[in-house]
Structure 1
Amino acid sequence: MTTRPTRAARARLATASACLSALLWLPQSPLAVADPALEQARIRELLTAALPAHANHPQIELSNLAAACEDPRPFLTHPEQRSYGRVLVGVRCGRALHYVQAKVSVMGTYVVSQQNLAATQVIEADMLALRTGALEKLPANTALSVKEVVGLRAGHAFKASAPLITTALRKTWLVEQNHPVAMQFRGAGFTLSRQGKALDNGYLGDEVRVVAERGKLLRGKVTGPDQLLVRD
């Protein structure tokens, strides 16, 4: 004899069937529908934004990309390093973390010396020139702008046309306390030069105190080795 389901059993069966139908109509998870190109686009945007000023025509190759992620958040694992050449990029995806290898090629300007530089020589702007080339092929820490190196002292000799490496340059006093200095006064249509004695040590661009003739106390901006631009 066949037993017919009770009213309560039929109700439970109907409820289960309705729940199953609802589950089948739920939208797919965000991870399943994520665009796999989004990670690449965000990494390229990050690397491009980190390139030096005046860098041109970047070409970026990526490897070790992960599966699609709804909201990839890339970051530079070593922000203090240069953003061209071989760069390691971290990518957070929810609680997961993976790393992408990037190879970045870019054209840009860099600094070379127009003359041979002796060890300990102080670098001045008229000794320098800018060249254009593939930045990723240059030695690490190559100076990319003149202002990075003017006023520094060479840690070793440099040949003419060689890229200047910032780690081989040393910050040094251009004006030293109690040493004689050449003071320059500029006005409308005239320039005067006088001798004085510095009362402070100073790097390029620093303002230091200086004693002029007859003991007059002035202040001047360091413009070069033992040179001050003075305002009365």
Structure 2
Amino acid sequence: MKRLKVWTGAAALLGMTCANASQLDAPLTQFFQQRLAGISEKVAVTVKTPAAQLPDCPQPEFALPNNGRMWGNLSVMVRCGNGKRYIQVAVAASGKYVVAAQQLPRGTTLTASNVTMKYGRLDRLPPRAMIDLKQATNATTLREISPGQPIMLSMVRQSWRVKAGQQVQVVASGAGFSINSQGKVLNNAAVAQNVRVRMASGQIVNGTVDADGNILINL
């Protein structure tokens, strides 16, 4: 009878833990699905923080650290009213990434003919893996890369599309509108990389470099 009570208590505790954890499962999954839209078609979030340490509020707000990572083991800030807490999660995301289509000796310029896209688990890739063919445009390999091997940004030298001090066209677009303006680039950047631009007003904005050297900003 004593053993039965122990198992009953353990089962009740396990059930309570799962119930508490599930309160954040749905909003966290939606949070990462929105941020990975267009990158990953399949996202699964596992909360690793013990249930007793999870915040309990009906409408939590989430935020990610500014390190650029959106999958794997992450620390997520949860804001509930005026309070905030950090929890640990594991984000599994599946999508396409860039691999070598053939043997690439050191010094090879990447083109559409020698790289291709492969579908798989993004969270199992090494850090800074290429997930967009635009990132490979005119890049030169710094080491030999085997066929089928994922290509990391650290494996290549990017050709700068814009350079610090250069005047560029800035295109800000949103729902049903588009605004063109001029600005000065503050850092070197390749196609599909982020860049900071000082506008004529003195305001500094962040955007992405396109193939034509324009800076795109989504509002």
Alignment TM-score, normalising by the size of structure 2: 0.57
Distance in 1 separating the partners of 2:102 and 2:157: 19
Deviation at 1:115, TM superposition (A): 1.4
* Aligned: 1:146 with 2:139: no
Aligned partner of 2:63 among 47, 64, 75: 75
Q: Percent identity, please.
A: 20
**Partner AA of 2:122 in structure 1:** L
Distance 1:60 1:37, change over 3 A: closer
Deviation at 1:79, TM superposition (A): 5.1
The 3-state SS of whatever aligns with 1:47 is helix
For 1:132, the equivalent position in structure 2 comes to 119
Structure of larger gyration radius: 1
Q: What does residue range 66-145 of structure 1 map to in structure 2 within 5 Å?
A: 66-78=54-66, 80-81=68-69, 83-145=70-132
The 3-state SS of whatever aligns with 2:113 is helix
Deviation at 1:41, TM superposition (A): 3.0
The 3-state SS of whatever aligns with 1:126 is coil
Deviation at 1:70, TM superposition (A): 4.1
**Partner AA of 1:115 in structure 2:** Q
Distance 1:44 1:79, change over 3 A: farther
Where structure 1 has 5 or more consecutive residues not aligned to the other structure, the ranges are: 1-34, 175-202, 205-221, 224-232
* Aligned: 1:48 with 2:37: no
Distance 1:46 1:146, change over 3 A: same
Deviation at 1:84, TM superposition (A): 1.4
Residue deviations 1:130-165, cap 9 Å, x none? Answer: 111111111111111211112111121111111110
**Partner AA of 1:48 in structure 2:** Q
The 3-state SS of whatever aligns with 1:42 is helix
Distance in 2 separating the partners of 1:156 and 1:98: 42
Distance in 2 separating the partners of 1:54 and 1:61: 19
Distance 1:36 1:141, change over 3 A: closer
Distance 1:79 1:47, change over 3 A: farther
Q: Is the 8 A contact 1:36 1:69 kept in 2?
A: no
Moved more, 123-132 or 50-59: 50-59
For 1:57, the equivalent position in structure 2 comes to 42
Distance in 1 separating the partners of 2:32 and 2:23: 14
Q: Is the 8 A contact 2:25 2:46 kept in 1?
A: no
Alignment TM-score, normalising by the size of structure 1: 0.54
For 1:229, the equivalent position in structure 2 comes to none
Residue deviations 1:85-134, cap 9 Å, x none? Answer: 11211011223221111111122111111111122221111111111111
Could you say what the CA RMSD is over the residues aligned between the two structures, in angstroms?
A: 2.7
